[in-house]
Structure 1
């Protein structure tokens, strides 16, 4: 086993390794959340109940060798923990909500790979090469390094101009509240955690269009007239839901040397369809695909699971970045169990994990983005959100939601149920509730609830700004 994996999985919490010349290098906590586009990583979350999630993350420019090494190292971890961990394949820009939930301040994509990453850390700030970072996403904010050019800017997103000893946070009027908060949190993190407090942080919001020092890097203040409007930029949303989607169950075989899949069921899946001696692929469409391995599968078959998944994606003409999760019989997470009825395992405390979504209904299509490991602070007063408790669904209307969003709350709930593919009771119902008037039946889904949080508007942009730069 790789020396970097000594004692792996014995301590609760997050560990991250980067692939370097076919070996793993453990990252210090100060670099958690920073990913270089030319690299591959292993991210492992160890939970208190001897349960593990192992993610191998692939940058858009990572080499085939590094991808292979990451997959092999994930198998090494798997073998050392008796094959119990849930494995996840993550591709840059299309990470799962679970992966993103580990990084509450968002994740950063940086240019280059291992060597350039090393150089950046040791750069002298006085010789720092300016760079532009883009904060993208309403909920799960991703920060990506983009070309330092006016073509990269738009009036709907937050950008950070990093000059080494000066950090500008550019927040145009159409940018979202959460993106602004993430932007100033990131600038503060770079200032304090990475550079010992040396840089000056400058926030540009009301004066976004008239700061000469900022605009000199983009051709001068006259360039503002050429910047793309928010409406001209692609949507942040994860996926569109529609009622044509079906959950499919496929039996996997590669006895002939080629991966073959045979349809074993669709929609309304029942646990009885899974055979302990076989491997199956569950294609949930919007929710990615799962590879389920029965206890009768050999160790070789377990190692092939991700290869099967990639070949299935090719055969099914699915995007290569589709989220893939490998699960083992009797160690299935709630995210997998939820797709089946008839799941009566006494070891399971629940077969449905409550989910929180930021939703919008544009042009008749329902857009949903899941927030994993949610807390009360994830309820954003500017939005309408859905809390899915299985047979009880809440539509939470924030105080700052616009009139159109409030008026369409009921339609959003109905659309959500109509496009749903999860097995649930015919009597599943929804309830529309309003911020500060939440019933106990809603609050119980949160580990902690503070009635004062909304009254004090503690998560407003101005309050966060004051708190960070006090």
Structure 2
């Protein structure tokens, strides 16, 4: 456990004036309180200057800015947000101060203390964010749905948006890099030079006659699509005649006239393109996404002391409204939480002290720092905790004796859920479970089908495959793989294999759901009509056919649930200590059944418990048990009697993430204010709906690395594009079933811009082999001719030709890679020796 003091040397000079004096800048007084809105100011001559709305999304790296966003809780905000007074609903305020890489210390200082000033004007409840160029938070990026631009220098007195003037006397070429998946950023480079290029990004070269779109081999589809749209926008803004696409390594293939123009600015004999930008993993290796620590802050005798309290997972109860706390998530961000009863100085200097903490811990200078106020925490802060309850709502319910509203589920069909996807999403139900079901138990490498009379009887050391079909505008299918807590890895793998086989037979249109014992989703329970029973052990006792496993005749079942879509029974130890006053239990001895009803259980729970008995049973109420009941349990003993309270958890809001693996490291970047348009076909997306995870892949790694300590047994649903169920689409505010057919990918848009009718082929006669060739990182010829000990460790010295660009390959071997590949090995070796590549 660490404890240390922050001294003057630990603080940024930018924060020395970061104390609320009560004064309010005239520019801020124009912001209406209790209203939605979005505003941006830049710092000019130590003053706050508002930007015109048509300038939103343009930043200069030599400037500092303040960005203000106010919206109803959970609602989107951004450049198109209009000012609207809100009554009777809570608003959340966010203030970001953005610092360009080349901004002066005095500008960043003004931005810092003016942020405190604006916060004071709004009542001191805003969340404050320190943003630095190239490290913007997901929330900040979400304000600019069409991306934003970062230009060189400071805001000019008169210029076009792109930072240059297009005419015969004043023109200067400009190079932009387009980077980022969700909300790509267009960043102006210092000069038009090959030294800025790398194969992982897309670059725009704005010349007097042409806008060149240079497409890096390893650039992602979103960057390429966004760069094309940006080039089209620049063409309109600058009146440049045309757009020309240039493929990485195929520069020599540019048409003659265009090549002449291209070489004016980027001579091909000087071409040197680096591989994809490498992410520095040195710090990342030290900091895991799941690592999080909590510190208490105190200001005694003029010394600001920071004391470590615990490492994660964190509880909401770890925070105290009398104090200030720092949540250290390392390079993933630092949060400073200010309690309601903290003094004004601690409140106004919270960001300053958090920045001091960053310097003291020797974290990178660009580490994100965010200040949140007790009672006004944003969702991304709450998600760092195991659970989070709105204190005011909980308090109000306690006073008024009210209960949270529950949706009453009556008989319904699949058409209803497809017509009302929000209801399907909230209940996680697709229909009433009346479809067709088939069930298999996995026995080593064999899948044994279970007869219908045994449906619902599972064993906790087994794996099962459940195939459920139902009608809704055609036949729909769900494949559940259910794993008992003591199932073997071999049988789990076999269950996945069997599910994949069935999915392939059905044409890959099934909904694949991974279910772990104890975390069964509502639709799964609905299929078994609220009668799912999980016994201990393996279902190995079978009849002569090997299909019908025998169920136990003596057991105690713990019944959980009050309706068919949430009820299940689990075998527990046949002892009195297993009882719990909040539930009902079923005791069976041979043919005798007892339904024990706890004092805190409900009538609905009792009715569902009766479904697990025979026709004749005896109802036993807690406190009125007959002696024989205790004898069957081995004697009366103490058990849990404390009443469980069900409070609303504020972490049920769905969250969308873009997922990727970089150097075997999992990365999940949140998409704020998401909509269907954020589900790009080229990407892997994860929807975290709290009780269920929807994803194409990598969901387990997401759960394992969640700093809130999420249950890795959370159900995982694999959703396929074009076959999204309403339990998924209902989390999106509007869902257009035809959107996928209208989506234009990069290749299609490129064809439109180039005026071609078919997808480009970059002169390949054998697309797959050329694609394989292009997957290798490319190096200059001179580098590849170096001795083996001087080669990059990524280069295979026996296949140096694969690391040439297409143009270099054709120039050296006088043929394309496809033709070279088809030559005899001895001929290939001979040509490589002549080229100095052997």
TM-score normalized by the length of structure 2: 0.50
Residue in 1 that maps onto 2:743: 458
Aligned mates of 1:240, 1:368 — CA distance in 2 = 16
- Does residue 148 (structure 1) correspond to residue 211 (structure 2)? The answer is no
* TM-fit CA distance, 1:425: 4.7
Is the 2:174–2:192 contact (alpha carbons within 8 Å) kept by the matching residues of 1? yes
Cα 1:445/1:203, change in 2 over 3 Å: farther
5+ unaligned residues in a row in structure 1: which ranges? 397-408
Is the 1:56–1:74 contact (alpha carbons within 8 Å) kept by the matching residues of 2? yes
- Does residue 299 (structure 1) correspond to residue 344 (structure 2)? The answer is yes
- Does residue 264 (structure 1) correspond to residue 309 (structure 2)? The answer is yes
Q: 2:731 is matched with which residue: 445, 451, 456? A: 445
- Does residue 220 (structure 1) correspond to residue 267 (structure 2)? The answer is yes
Cα 1:117/1:320, change in 2 over 3 Å: farther
Cα 1:244/1:284, change in 2 over 3 Å: closer
Is the 1:84–1:328 contact (alpha carbons within 8 Å) kept by the matching residues of 2? yes
* TM-fit CA distance, 1:124: 4.2
Give secondary structure in 2 for the equivalent of 1:138: coil
Aligned mates of 1:254, 1:289 — CA distance in 2 = 19
Aligned mates of 1:205, 1:439 — CA distance in 2 = 40
How large is the RMSD of aligned CA atoms in angstroms? Answer: 2.8
Aligned mates of 1:39, 1:172 — CA distance in 2 = 30
Residue in 2 that maps onto 1:405: none
User: Which stretch has the larger CA shift, 355-364 or 237-246?
Assistant: 237-246
Aligned mates of 1:292, 1:305 — CA distance in 2 = 8
Residue in 1 that maps onto 2:178: 135
Residue in 1 that maps onto 2:228: 184
Cα 1:278/1:453, change in 2 over 3 Å: same
Aligned mates of 2:29, 2:752 — CA distance in 1 = 40
Residue in 2 that maps onto 1:402: none
Cα 1:60/1:130, change in 2 over 3 Å: same
* TM-fit CA distance, 1:167: 2.7
Give secondary structure in 2 for the equivalent of 1:313: helix
Residue in 1 that maps onto 2:540: none
* TM-fit CA distance, 1:120: 5.7
Residue in 1 that maps onto 2:64: 40
Residue in 1 that maps onto 2:363: 318
State the Cα deviation string for residues 370-405 of structure 1 (Å, max 9, x = none): 222222111121232222222311113xxxxxxxxx
- Does residue 436 (structure 1) correspond to residue 722 (structure 2)? The answer is yes
Aligned mates of 1:168, 1:364 — CA distance in 2 = 34
5+ unaligned residues in a row in structure 2: which ranges? 1-23, 73-89, 394-647, 756-838
Aligned mates of 1:355, 1:214 — CA distance in 2 = 47
Aligned mates of 1:129, 1:106 — CA distance in 2 = 24
Residue in 1 that maps onto 2:117: 76
Aligned mates of 2:211, 2:304 — CA distance in 1 = 51
Residue in 1 that maps onto 2:378: 333
Pair member with larger Rg: 2
Aligned mates of 2:285, 2:739 — CA distance in 1 = 32
Aligned mates of 1:117, 1:180 — CA distance in 2 = 32
* TM-fit CA distance, 1:177: 1.6
User: Which stretch has the larger CA shift, 432-441 or 74-83?
Assistant: 432-441
State the Cα deviation string for residues 217-253 of structure 1 (Å, max 9, x = none): 44433444x32344xx325999789757422111112
Residue in 2 that maps onto 1:404: none
Is the 2:328–2:335 contact (alpha carbons within 8 Å) kept by the matching residues of 1? yes
Is the 1:168–1:214 contact (alpha carbons within 8 Å) kept by the matching residues of 2? no
Give secondary structure in 1 for the equivalent of 2:43: strand
State the Cα deviation string for residues 402-438 of structure 1 (Å, max 9, x = none): xxxxxxx3xx222222222214456422122211122
Aligned mates of 1:137, 1:382 — CA distance in 2 = 14
Give secondary structure in 1 for the equivalent of 2:295: strand
Give secondary structure in 2 for the equivalent of 1:320: coil
* TM-fit CA distance, 1:17: 0.5
Give secondary structure in 2 for the equivalent of 1:13: strand
Cα 1:312/1:229, change in 2 over 3 Å: closer
Aligned mates of 1:334, 1:219 — CA distance in 2 = 47
1:95-174 aligned within 5 A: 95-114=136-155, 116=156, 118=158, 124-126=165-167, 127-146=170-189, 147-163=191-207, 166-174=210-218
- Does residue 284 (structure 1) correspond to residue 339 (structure 2)? The answer is no
Is the 1:105–1:185 contact (alpha carbons within 8 Å) kept by the matching residues of 2? no
Give secondary structure in 2 for the equivalent of 1:312: helix
